[in-house]
A = this chain, B = another copy of it.
């Protein structure tokens, strides 16, 4: 379901040459540690846009690192609505749960076509026991993501629609910019529908639409056909509640 091919074969690159490595768990591992990791990994996988590659309520024996494309983690509520927890960019570490046996509290879905690198939970836990470096790295990622989620929570809980949307766009802009070498133009690709934005921000897609119109009419941003253009960075930062403009970058994944 959505899965394109089985574990890809010999053609698969080694971890050392991994394009996403700078953003993954694997960064800051020694070459030795990296080869251990390479020993236990289950290989790469591709999923189509829209594929649920991690299901809520099911236990999960694997952990995934996003290598290419956009994904998201989300919670499904009993009332049928969906809360998007976060948007994942290459390097994101998805699905880790200390207690591998208990059912996951969230699901994950591919937004664009994606490629992931799969690791067995168990093998990873074993490795953590032997190489503290790995355990530390995982802990760091866990707390970093926690911070990002706290910001997201504050955004949803305490800002009006315009502020929420501005804040999210700003955050995504920054995150995308960080991993593309050339920071030349102010346009980035944002493969999000208005419904996705709404589900991340606790708004309806209709209201996201109106809000975006407002921002467009005020010449602050334009989001059209998957392209986000920041027309007035200062105004946007203000609407978004970024006090220090773009200095906060460090704290993003």
Contacts and interface: CB of A to CB of B under 8 A. Distances in A.
A154 B158 CA distance: 14
Interface stretch (A16-24, A128-136, A174-182): A128-136
A189 to B, nearest CB: 25
Contacts of A132: 128-132, 135
A231 interface: no
Contact of A98 (B73, B105, B144): B144
Interface in A92-121: 96-99, 102, 105-106
A151 interface: yes
Contact of A149 (B98, B133, B149): B149
A219 to B, nearest CB: 22
| Copies of this subunit | 2
A129 B134 CA distance: 10
Interface in A195-215: 201-202
Contacts of A99: 140
Nearest to A150: B85
A156 B156 contact: yes
A150 B105 contact: yes
A159 B131 CA distance: 43
A27 to B, nearest CB: 13
A202 to B, nearest CB: 3
A81 interface: yes
A146 B144 contact: no
Given A85-B153, A139-B135, A142-B143, A158 B79 contact: yes
A250 interface: yes
A29 interface: no
18 contacts: A75-B153, A77-B158, A78-B241, A78-B243, A97-B143, A102-B251, A105-B150, A125-B136, A128-B132, A128-B139, A132-B135, A135-B138, A142-B142, A145-B146, A146-B146, A146-B149, A149-B153, A156-B157
Given A102-B250, A105-B147, A149-B149, 6 more contacts: A82-B158, A83-B153, A128-B135, A128-B139, A146-B146, A156-B156
